[in-house]
Amino acid sequence: MVELFEKFRLLQSEMRLEVVEDVSSPESSLSHSISDANAPSFCSADFPISTATLPNGKKIPLLKSLLTSACERNCHYCPFRTGRDFRRITFKPDELAKAIVDLTAKGIIQGAFLSSGIAGGGLRTQDRLLTTAEILRKKYHYQGYLHLKIMPGAEYDQVIAAMQLADRVSINLEGPNTQRLQALAPQKIFFDELLEPLRWIERIRQTLPPWQGWKSRWPSSTTQFVVGAVGESDLELLSVTAWLYQKVRLGRAYFSGFSPTPDTPFEDRPACSPWREHRLYQASFLLRDYGFDVEDLPFNREGNLPLETDPKLAWAQTHLIHMPVEINRAEIKELLRVPGIGPKTAQAIVSSRRNHRINNEEDLKRLGVPINRAAPFLLVNGRRLQHQLRLW
Ligand code: SF4
């Protein structure tokens, strides 16, 4: 166990760029948007475990591990890139699977995220990841949460196999387009290696019956971008994100703010501001859950979001301040444009209106509307709220 601990500890210290399963919303503060899973913490048993929030909102302790930190590729930002001098760690598939099962049995983890450096090509690396997952599910009958990474170069049948074993699968696009990817990771191929497998995942979900093995539905998919290393704009990142939400039903885009690693080609480049990450998350939720289009977002001339203002508030300040939303008549899509009102609150307002009119601040508070944020953009029975008058 001591040797295992040391292996996980060494891996974890370099896996900070890999973000998995967290929750944020346009209504959340900065501290909530920085992924719990991005900041390794140590559990009571002293194993390097991250806390992750699953798509259903449940928080679980998650082991984030690579099958190997050896890699033959040369991504400019990555601590695992070939030729970098540090101690590489490799697990045998059964060794890693057994460690996950043991940690689960001890109550230390409830899930695992498995990725790998590329050693011997993407296809062979994917096979080893699949073998690990198969051992977990078939030999050890592991029922816990499993997120599997799809390797660049994996084949269609391997993607199906991964989807049959995992609760979530992901492929990191890294950059928003070919040009940016080339600057980040010269050996990765944007369309063939990264975008196409994301399309396969959606095609599989659309055309094959749901897998009936470990659970009754196909897994969700995510991707990740490295932000701030090669001059890409927020507009570039959010345009491809919007496309992914619409065309391949991506579950979630992650934005991993670049932070320089010594002894890499990008070691002298500045780190990305956490505020940029935060605004990108807020904007991506507006695209996914709030009915916003990319054109609605308040980009500046360089195609970046303002760091100092919440993008939803910025939109409302230019569009709603002179045309506030009437709370008793507005449709859900209009309510979702009001700062402070998210999908659950909008639904609660519409449900409540079937039985009663909303007449005052107390009614709004009962429905979960944060008065301070929403009042300037609302009318109640045709009148502005007293609260709002005090604000102005
Ligand atoms: S493929 Fe690139 S990003 Fe992935 S481990 Fe290797 S060097 Fe790092």
> 226: CA distance to ligand 1 center in Å?
12
Final residue of a domain: which of 213, 242, 272?
A: 272
Atom of ligand 1 nearest to the CA of 78: 8
Rounded-to-integer distance, Cα 32 and Cα 9, Å: 25
Residue 21 confidence class, pLDDT cut points 50, 70, 90:
low
What is the maximum span of the chain, computed from C-alpha positions, in angstroms? 68
Task: Kindly tell me the burial class for residue 246, based on how many C-beta atoms sit within 10 Å of its own C-beta (0-12, 13-18, 19 or more).
Answer: exposed
Beta bridge partners of 225: 174, 255
Q: Locate 240 and state its tokens.
A: 């491809």
Q: Is residue 301 part of a domain?
A: no
User: What's the whole-number mean pLDDT along residues 208-215?
Assistant: 74
Residue with tokens 């990108």: 280
Q: In the structure encoding, which two tokens stand for residue 71, read together?
A: 């890699």
Report the chain's mean pLDDT, rounded to a whole number. 89
Considering the domain architecture, whether residues 181 and 93 belong to the same structural domain is answered as: yes
d(CA 303, CA 236): 8
Centroid of ligand 1 to alpha carbon of 69 (angstroms): 9
pLDDT band at residue 37 using 50, 70 and 90 as cut-offs: very low
Domain shared by 330 and 212, yes or no: no
Q: Is residue 188 part of a domain?
A: yes
Report, in angstroms and rounded to the nearest whole number, the Rg of the chain calculated over CA atoms.
Answer: 23
Which protein residues are within 6 Å of ligand 1, measured from CB? 71, 73, 75, 78, 80-81, 117-118, 185
Q: For residues 103 and 95, give the distance between their C-alpha atoms in angstroms, rounded to a whole number.
A: 12
Decide which of 216, 249, 272 is a domain's last residue.
272
* Over residues 314-343, mean pLDDT: 95
Helices H, strands E: what count in the chain? 15, 10
User: What is the pLDDT at residue 40?
Assistant: 31
pLDDT at residue 32 is higher than 60: no
Kindly give the number of the ligand 1 atom that is closest to the alpha carbon of 185: 2
* Residue 249 shares a structural domain with residue 353: no
Q: Which of 55-69, 180-194, 330-344 has the lowest mean pLDDT?
A: 55-69
Please say if the pLDDT value at position 256 is more than 90.
yes
Mean pLDDT of 366-377: 95
User: 2 C-alpha vs ligand 1 centroid, how far in Å?
Assistant: 27
Pocket test for ligand 1, best of 15, 67, 78, 89 (most atoms within 8 A of CB): 78
Any domain includes 279: no
> Which token pair is 265?
């080609």
Residues 152 and 260 in one domain: yes
Question: Which amino acid is located at 348 in the chain?
Answer: A
Query: Domain tally for the chain?
Result: 2
Q: Are residues 361 and 268 in the same domain?
A: no
162 is a domain residue: yes
Q: Which of 238, 272, 306 is the last residue of a domain?
A: 272
**Do 251 and 349 belong together in one domain?**
no
Pocket test for ligand 1, best of 19, 68, 81, 230 (most atoms within 8 A of CB): 81
Res. 48: pLDDT tops 90: no
Q: Which atom of ligand 1 is nearest to the CA of 66?
A: 5
**Residue 27 has what pLDDT?**
65
Distance CA 72, CA 87 (A): 15
- Position 28 scores a pLDDT of 61
Atom of ligand 1 nearest to the CA of 74: 7
Closest approach atom of ligand 1 to CA 81: 7
Domain-embedded: residue 182: yes
pLDDT over 70 at 5, yes or no: yes
139 C-beta neighbours (distance < 10 Å), count: 12
Mutate which of 16, 71, 76, 115 to test ligand 1's pocket (most atoms within 8 Å of Cβ)? 71
Rounded Cα–Cα distance for residues 375 and 61 (Å): 39
Of the pLDDT bands very low, low, confident and very high (cuts 50, 70, 90), residue 14 is: low
Tens-digit pLDDT profile for residues 71-87:
999 999 999 999 999 99
Flag whether 289 is in a domain. no
Residue located nearest, by CA, to atom 4 of ligand 1: 117
In this structure, of 19-33, 207-221, 229-243, 298-312, the range with the lowest mean pLDDT score is 19-33
- What separation, in Å, do the N-terminal and C-terminal C-alpha atoms of the chain show? 62
Distance 360 CA to ligand 1 centre (A): 55
Q: Is residue 107 part of a domain?
A: yes
Q: Which residues contact 349 (CB under 8 A, 6 or more apart)?
A: 327, 335, 341, 358, 367, 369
Q: Looking at residue 160, which CATH number applies to its domain?
A: 3.20.20.70
Is 278 part of any domain?
A: no
111 and 192 together in one domain: yes
Q: How far is the CA of 372 from the centre of ligand 1 (A)?
A: 45
If asked whether residues 268 and 372 sit together in one domain, one would say: no
Please state the atom number of ligand 1 nearest to the C-alpha of residue 82.
7
Domain assignment of residue 360, given as a range: 320-384
From atom 5 of ligand 1, which residue's Cα is the shortest distance away? Answer: 117
Q: Do 36 and 138 share a structural domain?
A: yes
Q: Do 127 and 262 belong together in one domain? A: yes
Residue 324 and residue 261 in one domain: no
- For the cut 60, the answer to whether the pLDDT of residue 35 exceeds it is no
Same domain flag for 372 and 257: no
Cα(156) to ligand 1 centroid in Å equals 21
| Structure token pair of residue 228 | 């701030």
Q: What is the 3-state secondary structure (H, E, C) of 214-265?
A: CCCCCCEEEEEEEECCCCCCHHHHHHHHHHHHHHCCCCEEEEEECCCCCCCC
**Mean pLDDT, rounded, for 317-327:** 92
Does residue 55 surpass a pLDDT of 80? no
Q: Report pTM.
A: 0.91
Q: How far is the CA of 73 from the centre of ligand 1 (A)?
A: 6
**Could you read off the pLDDT of 118-176 as tens digits, one per residue?**
999 999 999 999 999 999 999 999 999 999 999 999 999 999 999 999 999 999 999 99
Give the span between the Cα atoms of 152 and 125, in whole angstroms: 9
